[in-house]
């Protein structure tokens, strides 16, 4: 389904009836990419140049939790990207990060497990490495699914045929155990590949009720996508885009037509006034998309709204905390934006009573 006709309406200023109070949690950040909140309320987040930072009791701790050095590299869209805390973080203090590195002169990506103690962390082990990398198209989102598996988005590193090559980990969504081993029920034997035919996927989210996985993906010339992800399915890049079809390949649920969103982080709202809506952060589009799904399998688009258009600039990520608050991350210092005073920022949307 293409709902591009609904997406070009200008955003009105949020009225007093807007269901969230908007406040700023942190300012003067350096390209924040992903965050997760610990059970004790600490906010852990990555900055793309190579730092994991923490906000404790409302204050940004000056010293990083960890700072990465070579062979880590931050160049173009690569660097320190995704982050997620272990489901049992309160006891094991594990967190997982996705980073770009150089090996024998070649850029690659990997996922590391870190162990944290008193706001400092060290590398515990490498879970998966050798993922194709480049200055752009590194994917980088990592999330833990309802099945307690680690899902990883990997870009095509500007080498489109990789996306159709099932022996390559480029242009894929990957799935591994939290110890790095390959699940026996993955769609391809002894492979971390969960779905393929992706260009540069940067968002992952599961529907709160159906537990179905959805992903956001950067298109080549516009045609950015929201996909419903099925195990083993082929999403067509570079052979199809937009409404094009080839037998055995999946079309997106929604695409941007000839407009560019550059969609990145996404989340399903678990509670509050926007419950069960899918929120998608966009970079070039400088907006938050609020998507309502319909159909018995939530595989159709009911409605798409644009929020905060050009209000905060480039939005890299959206996250919901356990208390129902939503968090947005700006990326106006990522080399493609126009930084405003205080950028980059983490913005909190607190549900009104």
Q: Which residues are catalytic?
A: 137
From residue 35, alpha-carbon distances to 10, 81, 103, 169, 202 in Å are 29, 10, 27, 25, 14
From residue 199, alpha-carbon distances to 13, 254, 256 in Å are 34, 15, 15
Residue 207 burial class via C-beta count within 10 angstroms: exposed 0-12, middle 13-18, buried 19 and up: middle
Estimate to the nearest angstrom the gap between the alpha carbon of 54 and the chain centroid: 19
Cβ distance 111 to 128 under 8 Å? Answer: yes
Angle subtended at Cα 238 by Cα 233 and Cα 242, rounded to the nearest 5 degrees: 80
Residue 320 burial class via C-beta count within 10 angstroms: exposed 0-12, middle 13-18, buried 19 and up: buried
DSSP H helical ranges for the chain:
89-92
State which H helix or E strand residue 238 sits in. Answer: none
**CA neighbor of 203 nearest in space, from 224, 221, 185, 179:** 224
């Amino acid at each position: 389904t293409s709902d591009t006709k609904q997406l070009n309406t200008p955003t009105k200023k949020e009225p007093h009836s807007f269901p969230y109070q908007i406040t700023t949690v942190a300012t003067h950040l350096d390209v924040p990419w992903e965050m997760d909140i610990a059970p004790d309320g600490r906010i852990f987040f990555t900055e793309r140049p190579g730092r994991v930072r923490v906000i404790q009791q409302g204050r940004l701790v000056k010293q990083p939790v960890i700072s990465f050095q070579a062979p880590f590299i931050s160049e173009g869209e690569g660097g320190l990207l995704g982050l997620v805390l272990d489901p049992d973080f309160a006891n094991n203090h594990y967190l997982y990060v996705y980073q770009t590195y150089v090996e024998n002169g070649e850029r690659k990506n990997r996922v590391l497990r870190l162990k944290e103690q008193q706001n400092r962390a060290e590398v515990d082990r490498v879970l998966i490495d050798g993922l194709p990398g480049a200055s752009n198209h590194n994917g980088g989102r990592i999330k833990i699914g309802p099945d307690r598996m680690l899902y990883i988005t990997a870009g095509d590193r500007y080498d489109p045929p990789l996306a159709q090559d099932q022996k390559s980990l480029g242009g894929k969504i990957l799935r591994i155990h939290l110890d790095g081993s390959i699940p026996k029920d993955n769609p391809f034997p002894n492979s971390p590949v969960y779905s393929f035919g992706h260009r540069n996927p940067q968002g992952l989210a599961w529907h709160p009720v159906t537990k179905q996985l959805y992903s956001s993906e950067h298109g080549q010339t516009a045609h950015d996508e929201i996909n419903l992800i099925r195990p083993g399915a082929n999403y067509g890049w570079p052979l199809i885009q937009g409404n094009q079809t080839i037998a055995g390949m999946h079309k997106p649920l929604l695409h941007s037509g000839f407009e560019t969103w550059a969609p990145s982080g996404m989340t399903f709202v678990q509670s509050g006034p926007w419950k069960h809506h899918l929120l998608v952060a966009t970079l070039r589009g400088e907006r938050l998309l609020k998507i309502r799904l319909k159909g018995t399998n939530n595989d159709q688009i009911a409605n798409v709204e644009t929020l905060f258009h050009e209000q905060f600039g480039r939005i890299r990520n959206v996250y919901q905390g356990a208390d129902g608050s939503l968090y947005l991350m700006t990326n106006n210092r990522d080399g493609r934006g126009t930084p405003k005073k205080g950028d980059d920022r983490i913005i909190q949307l607190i549900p009104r009573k």
